[in-house]
Amino acid sequence: MNRPTYRVTELLGDGIGGELSQAIHRLAEALPVRVEFIPVDLRVENRRARGKILYDEAVELINTTKVALKHPTATTEESPNAVLRRKLDLSVIHRPVYTIPGVPTNFRRELDLDIVRIATGGTYDDPGRMIGDDGAVSLRIVERRPVREAARYAFNLARKTNKIVTTASKYTIQKATDGLFEKVANEVADQFPEVPHTIELFDALLGKVIMSPQKFQIVLVLNEYGDFLSDMACGLAGSLGIGASANLGFDAGAVVRVALFDAAHGTAPDIAGKNLANPTAIFLAFAMLLYQIGEISLGQAVKNATLDLLREGVRTPDLGGAESTESFTEAVANEVVQRV
Ligand code: NAD
């Protein structure tokens, strides 16, 4: 029987990126579908040698395959993530953050948050300027389109998963920017009457997530708030190094047009080439990619096999275990085969 084939752009990275790429290929072999990875070399030397043309090629390919998996890249003159986000108009970042039983954390509660963050604007698109020597100013930008795209994505996710959406901002103080954000989010919420929607002030939300994490499921926020919340939530979950994200671009009908999946961690130069890299984050990113292409049960198999093994103590040294990148990958691949 012919296995369905999916084409995926694979953006090759620096440091542990090579080992993670091998791990992903091994894992993909365990699936009953064929994943054809089309590589684009985003390693430093190639970026320096080929510059803009390389990014143009990457963008053209991703626009064709619609999905991409990105390995960590060293930041040099530019951040490849920022360049790709801009060139592909990736306006939304979806970052699931959850505690994993067995993974060490200082937080004694369970946390399971889907952070949906507007990836552009806020205070991050304007570096600001000095006014004389003693003052400085920067613009805060909120635009209807990315807020609407993020809100539709968040409410659709809630509809599919029976979850609650919480919007959080400082609308009482930042009346224009955060007021517009809440207004657009409310307009979208009205189209999803069956989805519970709660509104919080962002500062209060931070405290409440720590005190009562079970009350929050999908949190929709502007750019900088998403940045702060993601790191806080990852710190609580003990998983700064094992988180993954989807970077999403939408068409005019607010349907996902392109999606780029990546791990939150960097290139880990200190352990590169030593067979010590933990591939959990890139496996979780790959699981999100499988959901995106409609292979929901395969995505669940990859995610659950990875998390179950971590729970059972099958772990790489960064999580206190003794597995190598290869032996952990082999264990996950074998587990996936049993489940699909
Ligand atoms: P880092 O995440 O690479 O490393 C921080 C620490 O975590 C190191 O001790 C490292 O060994 C460990 N670590 C990270 N990932 C790991 C994994 N998968 N398995 C086991 N241990 C892991 O952060 P850094 O050292 O600040 O950055 C190194 C480079 O990565 C920099 O050039 C930075 O700009 C880049 N970076 C890239 C991305 C990305 O491409 N998405 C993200 C963050 C940092």
Q: Cβ(205)–Cβ(237) under 8 Å?
A: no
Residues 22, 275: Cα–Cα separation, whole Å = 11
| Average pLDDT rounded to a whole number, residues 137-160 | 96
Number of the ligand 1 atom closest to the C-alpha atom of 76:
32
Sign of CA dihedral 284, 290, 293, 294: negative
Number of the ligand 1 atom closest to the C-alpha atom of 73:
40
The pLDDT, as a whole number, for residue 74 is 95
Sign of CA dihedral 84, 86, 87, 90: positive
Instruction: Say if ligand 1 is within 6 A of residue 323 CB.
Output: no
Q: What is the pLDDT of residues 240-289, one digit of tens each?
A: 678 899 999 999 888 999 999 999 899 999 999 999 999 999 999 999 99
pLDDT band, very low/low/confident/very high, at 163 (cuts 50, 70, 90): very high
- Helices 17-29 and 325-339: angle between axes, nearest 10 degrees: 20
CA–CA–CA angle 12, 236, 298 (5° rounding) = 45
Instruction: Say if ligand 1 is within 6 A of residue 17 CB.
Output: no
Residues 72, 262: Cα–Cα separation, whole Å = 8
Pocket probe mutation, ligand 1, options 84, 85, 267, 286, max atoms within 8 Å of Cβ:
267
Q: What is the pLDDT of residues 165-221, one digit of tens each?
A: 999 999 999 999 999 999 999 999 999 999 999 999 999 999 999 999 999 999 999
Q: What is the pLDDT of residues 91-107, one digit of tens each?
A: 999 999 999 887 888 89
Residues in contact with 280: Cβ distance below 8 Å, sequence separation at least 6, in sequence order: 242, 306, 310, 316
Number of the ligand 1 atom closest to the C-alpha atom of 262:
41
Residues 325, 141: Cα–Cα separation, whole Å = 42
Report which of 125, 93, 88, 49 is spatially closest to residue 229, judged by C-alpha positions: 93
Report the separation in Å between the CA atom of 271 and the middle of ligand 1, taken as the mean of its atom positions: 10
Report the separation in Å between the CA atom of 277 and the middle of ligand 1, taken as the mean of its atom positions: 10
Residues in contact with 286: Cβ distance below 8 Å, sequence separation at least 6, in sequence order: 24, 27, 28, 69, 261, 302
The pLDDT, as a whole number, for residue 239 is 67
The pLDDT, as a whole number, for residue 322 is 96
Q: What is the pLDDT of residues 13-65, one digit of tens each?
A: 999 999 999 999 999 999 999 999 999 999 999 999 998 999 999 999 999 99
The length of the chain is 340
The pair of three-digit structure tokens given for residue 298, joined into one six-digit string:
């395969």
Residues 262, 282: Cα–Cα separation, whole Å = 6
Residues in contact with 31: Cβ distance below 8 Å, sequence separation at least 6, in sequence order: 298, 302, 336, 340
pLDDT > 70? residue 1: no
Q: What percent of the chain has pLDDT over 90?
A: 88
For the chain, helix (H) and strand (E) counts, in that order, are 10, 12
Residue in the structure block whose two tokens are 């919420």: 189
Which runs of consecutive H residues, i.e. helices, occur in the chain?
17-29, 44-65, 80-87, 144-161, 177-190, 202-211, 223-237, 280-292, 296-311, 325-339
| Average pLDDT rounded to a whole number, residues 56-81 | 95
If you average pLDDT over every residue of the chain, what do you get? Answer: 95
The pair of three-digit structure tokens given for residue 212, joined into one six-digit string:
């009562």
Atom 31 of ligand 1, residue of closest alpha carbon: 74
Kindly provide the ipTM of the predicted complex, given to two decimals. 0.99
Residue in the structure block whose two tokens are 């224009």: 176
pLDDT > 90? residue 2: no
Residues 249, 45: Cα–Cα separation, whole Å = 28
Bridge partner list, 249: 258
Query: 282-314 burial by CB neighbour count: b if 16+ within 10 A, else e?
Result: bbbbbbbbbbbbebeebbebbbebbbbbbeeeb
